[in-house]
Chain A
Amino acid sequence: MDMGTANQSHQEWLKEMEAASRAKQTSFIDGISAKLRRPMVTEPPRHPFRGAPDFWNAYEWGEQERIDRFTANFLSVGGHVERLATMEDAQRFITDKANELSAKYIVRQNQPELEALNLEGALPDAQVSVWNSDPEQFWKARAAEADIGVVIADYAAAYTGSITVLSSKDKGRSVSLLPTVLMAIIPVERLKTRLGEIMVHFDEGGRASLPAGIHFISGPSRSADIENDLTIGVHGPGVVYALIVG
């Protein structure tokens, strides 16, 4: 009852704040227009320099080169890359690694491709949780205690050696962030040359199509703050495997 009242008054407070903010928006934006010495622009301005230069937008590597470049970039920042032919190979790799490292807790995204790997069956000694499969669980804690997180990349970019993951009900942001080791499966057809080939989907899809979290991951977590010593893994996964499959 108390909580309910507190929540209600909080919602009311948020509404008050919003009303104040909307009122202020006008004066704030008008102030900017005044500084720019013209009335406020309401039509979308012509933006002749939108996005990357033309020469870049035409740039594209063949599949093998994308794989090679991604691999070289990812290795150079301390990540690991495996080139695997099939999802069965991916399953074998993940289970071997999990056994080798004696992983106790594994958390994976709730996706059919990962379901098909049947990690639960292949790793009887580990506890494999499926993200957000049970509303009673405190999922952030499940991810935080996990030794290994398993995800499927939505995209990857070879030029920068980046894996892109999008959040959803079935794809937790924590799964690629909190475990000590991250295993990211990249279906080879999702590996692009440039970041721009990925970003274009977000522009075209528009605001309403975007998930809450879009993350580009380009290697293991790193800090370089103690005498410039590269200290790996203070916050995010210190070990990252990119498994290029297909």
Chain B
Amino acid sequence: MSGASGHSKGSSVKDRADLALNNEFLRKAVKYTTEKLKGGKLKAMEEHGNWEEWRERGKQIRLHTIAHLDYYLNLFVDNARANGVHVHFANTAEEAVHISLSIAERKNAKSVVKSKSMVTEELHLNHALESIGVEPVETDLGEYIIQLAGETPSHIIIPAIHKNRYQIADLLSADAGETLEPDTKVLAGYVRKKLREKFLEADIGMTGCNFAIAETGSMVLFENEGNARMVTTVPETQITLMGMERIIPSWADLEVMATLLPRSATGQKLTVYMSGITGPRRSEDADGPEEMHIIIVDNGRSLQLGDPEFQELLNCIRCGACLNACPVYRHIGGHAYGGTYSGPIGAVLTPSLQKNIAEWDDIANASSLCGACYEACPVKIPLHEMLVYLRRRKVEAGHGNKLESAGMIGFSKIMSNSARFKAILKLGKMGQKLVARNGEIRLKVGPLKGWNSHRVTPSLPKKSFRDQWGTMEAEIRNGLQEMAPDMKNRMEQIVKNREKGGGNGHGHS
């Protein structure tokens, strides 16, 4: 479906990481954003007492729901139907796309307004809509900008962090057909006007779903801009794409998720809008969709069910806290991960959704296993352990040698240098715990031996990560000079293509 996905398989995470590293602005923006978000989060957590107790409660609710997913999902479906929703099931991405397109065709839709949804990204739905002549319009400010640029999002929460104001002004000016000042207010004003027109014209509104409440058949959306409300209020038809694991039992459970999700994502006490939509508009209502569809998507999720090592992935509430905590993500940004989901969660989720360990091994290896992601996760998913399982499975499946292929050498060089690794460990403040936790984990496999031996004796340097930033950058540069000539050629080729304006290498284009 997406020609570019073939391309991204052709280039390793390291290639893309270097493109990111070359971009001074990207690094600053990612660093600034993640630090700001992280700072905000610490504050919100401090203010909010008993954070550990809330986290534990969040984990228990998710564990309970997933352990009884058949019951709760069935209950949700029955209630949603009783509310007047048309519910559909899709085992695969293709089925979900097919159902979405059938509805759009039935409705003779010319355009679909969308609010941010990782599931629709995962399904490459925009591309599919375009293929039948329907214009998909991303309406989050950042997503809209990204869509104009023809790229995929680089951060779950703030997708446009790798573009600066001048680049954005250029994109919007091209869209407007007139020159817009690179002033935030001017640019935002243009988008407000433009998107209002789009909302009023659109035949269909399309959303994801943060949570689905089984007992009442309601779907819940968290957002700051108001566009998800627009998408679910203005068009006559609403389509919601929902991962089958999004369920929680009750509104009481939503209070816990509403406490954990915004605090972990952006440090807010609550997002500006939290909406619970229970069915289409009632017959006397004067707004809201007349027809509402919910498409429940598996697309690889059930592969994690019943798998003791990965089932907890289904607990993920997509807050992005693990990204903000991850030293690797903080350094290379989201695009380098190549999939829809980036950072530590993407490193585990992407291969397990695709049941395709060999292709994605380099991603798992780009994570540092420092455990900061686990510490940050509001529902306590042991991502760092899952990364280890993933590597072990890969080796067991006979893909061990791939690690030494050109794609990985660059990154293992960076990460196997003990000084750098320790600096990263310090950032995660997890050095000692890591040793204890890894006592039980089979790590001494193949080429990972090197990593392991560095990690068991972390004597943490006094200098902070920030102090060493310059040095690390230099070392990474030096490391890369040693890369294999064919890989270098390939990367140069990618950079050239990019300059020509080809958005490939970033998913669909």
Contact = CB atoms under 8 A, between A and B. Distances in A.
Interface in B280-327: 280-282, 284-288, 291, 296, 298, 302, 305-306
Interface string A2-13: 000000001001
A234 B287 contact: no
Interface in A38-56: 40-42, 44-45, 47-53, 55-56
Given A29-B74, A173-B233, A177-B226, A223 B188 contact: yes
Interface in B52-102: 53-54, 57, 60-61, 64, 67-71, 73-74, 77, 79, 82-83, 86-89, 91, 102
A169 B89 contact: no
Interface string A66-83: 000000010001000000
A225 B29 CA distance: 11
A29 B252 CA distance: 25
A246 interface: no
B140 A55 contact: no
A23 B142 CA distance: 40
A231 interface: yes
A200 B251 contact: yes
A25 B185 contact: no
B61 A49 contact: yes
A85 B146 CA distance: 48
Contacts of A36: 67, 69-70, 305-306
B200 interface: yes
A54 to B, nearest CB: 10
A125 interface: no
Contacts of A226: 141, 145, 160, 163, 165, 168, 184, 187-188
B204 interface: no
A241 to B, nearest CB: 15
A74 B163 CA distance: 30
B196 A144 contact: yes
B29 to A, nearest CB: 7
Interface string B249-276: 1111111101100000000111111111
Interface stretch (A88-96, A114-122, A146-154, A160-168): A160-168
B272 A221 contact: yes
Contact of B252 (A160, A167, A199): A199
A55 B259 CA distance: 14
A100 interface: no
A206 interface: yes
B191 interface: yes
Contacts of B215: 203, 206-207
Contacts of A14: 86, 291
A235 B259 contact: no
Nearest to A49: B60
A41 B269 contact: no
B282 A211 contact: yes
B457 interface: no
B25 to A, nearest CB: 9
A91 B397 CA distance: 72
B216 interface: yes
Contacts of A194: 255
A218 interface: yes
Given A47-B249, A223-B188, A42 B71 contact: yes
Contact of A215 (B89, B139, B142, B229): B229
Contact of A144 (B64, B106, B200, B216): B200
A143 B70 CA distance: 42
B250 A213 contact: no
Best-buried of A131, A206, A218 by chain B (most CB within 10 Å) = A218
Interface residues of B, number: 101
B161 interface: yes
A212 B288 contact: yes
B473 interface: no
B164 interface: yes
Contacts of B165: 226-227, 229
B274 to A, nearest CB: 4
B378 interface: no
Interface string A188-226: 000000111001101100111011111111111111111
Contacts of A53: 50, 53-54, 57
A187 interface: no
Contact of A140 (B83, B234, B306): B234
B217 interface: yes
A111 interface: no
A170 B306 CA distance: 48
Interface in A231-246: 231, 233-237
Nearest to B88: A21
A180 B215 CA distance: 35
Nearest to B231: A235
B275 A213 contact: yes
A221 B226 CA distance: 6
Interface string A169-184: 1001110011000000
B198 to A, nearest CB: 11
A15 to B, nearest CB: 10
A147 to B, nearest CB: 15
A78 to B, nearest CB: 10
A222 B255 contact: no
B468 interface: no
Given A196-B252, A199-B251, A225 B141 contact: yes
A199 B213 CA distance: 12
A167 B285 contact: yes
